[in-house]
Amino acid sequence: MNSNSFVLKGDFCYSRDPRHLETVRDGFLVSVDGVSAGIYQILPEPYWGLPVEDWSGRLIIPGLTDLHVHAPQYAFRGLGMDLELLDWLEAHVFPEEAKYRDLDYAGKAYGIFAGDLKRGATTRACIFATAHTEATELLMDLLEETGLETLVGRVNMDRNCPDFIRESGARSSAKETVRWLEETSGKYRRTRPILTPRFIPSCTDELMERLAEIQREYHLPVQSHLSENGGEGAWVQELCPASRFYGDAYDAFGLFGGGAKTIMAHCVLSCDEEIALMKERGVYIAHCPQSNTNLSSGVAPVRRYLDEGLNIGLGSDVAGGSSLSILRAVADAVQCSKLRWRLLDQTLAPLTVAEAFWLGTVGGGSFFGKVGSFAPGYELDAVVLDDSHLKTPLELSVGDRLERAVYLTEERDVAAKYVKGQKIF
Ligand code: GUN
Ligand code: FE
């Protein structure tokens, strides 16, 4: 055991499986070299010499994973929420993302994003930047300093967007991507690249072919968008008439899971064939309920994805989603699933809080490995929540306090955070 090992004392809530919450009041969580050695009611003798951080009375939960967030959109979160996806991209997203050509602006905006991500309950995130190489590297520098574990993508987009944001062709988009990969290779401990074609409408066939080559050469994970909105789906069908469904258009280029570890955001409107292929290829679904509500996209059939054993976690999708909080996304996932069940399809039961919490911790965390639980062997990502100001005369169990934390936590309630066994504040 090195000096990196320690013990956290407090009240714990975490998941071992989607259906149940594990709770321990007044327990000891042992972190050995950044990995959980389990939670104990009485600290076992081999650990007596370790330093103890005493958070008695505080609620300690695993760090949350944001599987899908756009860093350059954080500046306009909570604004421009009255449009659907394609009009919203033109009116708000592309003009804002164009500003990241200016490194002063990028530094200011990304500094705020990285600072807020650090202070919240998220410990891992998969992040879209923009098509600007320098600004993307700046974002990676800032994220590395936070102590969070992140995957960051320089966005590729060479068609169907205004000149001021479009890359000047497949060849130069691919070339810039390689330059970005070479310049950041080996530079960071916690910040890694992820290949990020924006979505099918933004990428020519030639670009997709070149990106697939880069994926294979650099063994990169991949992130993109899938079956988010009706108009988008119809457009993909026009652009790729040979594809049987939206996901098939990625698959045609070998960019739909399998060898490449892949996250697809949304999957609100996926057909049976698409769902079957995602399952076969181990594609991760980033469920983004708040974004799907704000952009009137719909409600993904998360109960089905969960019960059929697909890989799935939660995303904030800022600025489609207005909140950066994945605890908020847990509550939104439950609430949206209830509306879907009540209004749309009574064969799919609503999610429970336990299930949605599992999605936000273990479900998304598994993209990063053994992450998102306190069970022995999991990497030690922990968030200490101070719920003492949520006053009530009720006697609450630890499970009750987790449920309230999901519905009522604000950023200021995070008292301390640990990532891979390192305290980051
Ligand atoms: N599809 C393509 N680009 C975007 C984006 O920036 N946000 C969302 N929600 N969907 C997209
Ligand atoms: Fe998105």
| Cis check: omega of the bond before 354, within 30 degrees of 0 | no
Question: How far from the centroid of its chain's Cα atoms is residue 149's Cα?
Answer: 11
β-bridge partners, 403: none
Please identify, by atom number, the ligand 1 atom nearest to the C-alpha of residue 295: 9
Answer whether 210's CB lies under 8 Å from 175's CB: no
Answer yes or no: is the C-beta of 96 below 6 A from any ligand 1 atom: no
The residue ranges of every structural domain in the chain are 6-62+373-423, 64-368
Q: Is the pTM of this model over 0.90?
A: yes
| CA-199 nearest atom, ligand 1 | 2
For ligand 1, what atom is nearest to the CA of residue 291?
A: 9
Distance CA 419, CA 425 (A): 10
pLDDT at residue 409 in the model:
86
Instruction: For domain 64-368, say whether CATH 3.40.50.20 is its number.
Output: no
Q: How many Å lie between the centroid of ligand 1 and the Cα of residue 329? A: 17
Does the domain at residues 6-62+373-423 carry the CATH identifier 2.60.120.470?
no
81 CA distance to ligand 2 middle (Å)? 14
Say yes or no: CB of residue 291 within 6 Å of ligand 1.
yes
Q: Are 415 and 61 in contact (CB under 8 A)?
A: no
CA distance 39 to 11: 10
Ligand 1 neighbourhood includes 97 CB (under 6 angstroms) = no
Tell me which of 69, 76, 77, 93 to substitute to probe ligand 1's pocket, judged by most ligand atoms within 8 Å of the beta carbon.
93
Ligand 2 mean position, distance from CA 363 (Å)? 18
- With a 6 Å cutoff on the Cβ, whether 317 touches ligand 1 is yes
Whether 232 lines ligand 1, by a CB cut-off of 6 Å, is: no
- Phi/psi zone of residue 351: left (φ > 0), alpha (ψ -120 to 50 degrees), beta? beta
pLDDT in the model for residue 2: 58
What are 242's two structure tokens?
A: 């040979």
Cα 169 to middle of ligand 2, angstroms: 22
Across-strand partners of 52?
7
- Cα of 323 vs centre of ligand 1, distance in Å, is 16
Ligand 1: nearest atom to the Cα of 288: 9
Nearest ligand 1 atom to the CA of 128 is 6
pLDDT of amino acid 1 = 59
With a 6 Å cutoff on the Cβ, whether 246 touches ligand 1 is: no
Report how far residue 420's alpha carbon sits from residue 312's, in angstroms, rounded to the nearest whole number.
22
Provide the residue-wise pLDDT of the chain in tens; the chain has 425 residues: 556 899 999 999 999 999 999 999 999 999 999 999 999 999 999 999 999 999 999 999 999 999 999 999 999 999 999 999 999 999 999 999 999 999 999 999 999 999 999 999 999 999 999 999 999 999 999 999 999 999 999 999 999 999 999 999 999 999 999 999 999 999 999 999 999 999 999 999 999 999 999 999 999 999 999 999 999 999 999 999 999 999 999 999 999 999 999 999 999 999 999 999 999 999 999 999 999 999 999 999 999 999 999 999 999 999 999 999 999 999 999 999 999 999 999 999 999 999 999 999 999 999 999 999 999 999 999 999 998 888 999 999 999 999 999 999 887 799 999 999 999 99
Q: Strand 64-70 vs strand 52-62: parallel, antiparallel, or unpaired?
A: unpaired
Whether ipTM exceeds 0.95: yes
Taking the CA of 88 as reference, the closest ligand is 1
Would you say the CB of residue 266 lies under 6 angstroms from ligand 1? no
Q: How far is the CA of 55 from the centre of ligand 1 (A)?
A: 40
**Residue with the two structure tokens 């988008």:** 232
Name residue, tokens 């972190």.
Answer: 31
pLDDT at 243: 98
For residue 70 and ligand 1, the question of a CB distance below 6 A is answered with: yes
Secondary structure, 3-state, the chain: CCCCCEEEEEEEEEEEECCEEEEEEEEEEEEECCEEEEEECCCCHHHCCCCEEEEEEEEEEECEEEEEEEHHHHHHCCCCCCCCHHHHHHHHHHHHHHHHHCHHHHHHHHHHHHHHHHHCCEEEEEEECCCCHHHHHHHHHHHHHHCCEEEEECEECCCCCCCCCCCCCHHHHHHHHHHHHHHHCCCCCCEEECEEECCHHHCCHHHHHHHHHHHHHHCCCEEEEECCCHHHHHHHHHHCCCCCCHHHHHHCCCCCCCCCCEEEEECCCCCHHHHHHHHHHCCEEEECHHHHHHCCCCCCCHHHHHHCCCEEEECCCECCECCCCHHHHHHHHHHHHHHHHHHCCCCCCCCCHHHHHHHHHHHHHHHHCCECCCCCCCECCEEEECCCCCCCCCCCCHHHHHHHHHHHCCHHHEEEEEECCEECC
CA 224 / ligand 2 centre spacing (Å)? 8
- What pLDDT is stored for residue 40 in this prediction? 98
Residues 6+ apart with CB under 8 A from 247: 226, 227, 256, 264, 270, 274, 277, 278, 283
With a 6 Å cutoff on the Cβ, whether 321 touches ligand 1 is no
Q: Tell me how far the alpha carbon of residue 43 lies from the centroid of ligand 1, in angstroms.
A: 48
Helical pair 398-408 and 326-343, crossing angle rounded to 10 deg: 90
Instruction: Specify the residue for token string 């202070």.
Output: 119
Q: Is ligand 1 within 6 A of the CB of residue 68?
A: no
Q: Return the ligand 1 atom nearest residue 320 CA.
A: 9
- 388: number of Cβ within 10 Å: 11
How confident is the model at residue 202, as a pLDDT? Answer: 98
- CB of 74 within 6 A of ligand 1: the answer is no
Q: For residue 317, which atom of ligand 1 is closest to its CA?
A: 9
Ligand 1 mean position, distance from CA 165 (Å): 14
Q: Which residue has the least CA distance to atom 11 on ligand 1?
A: 225
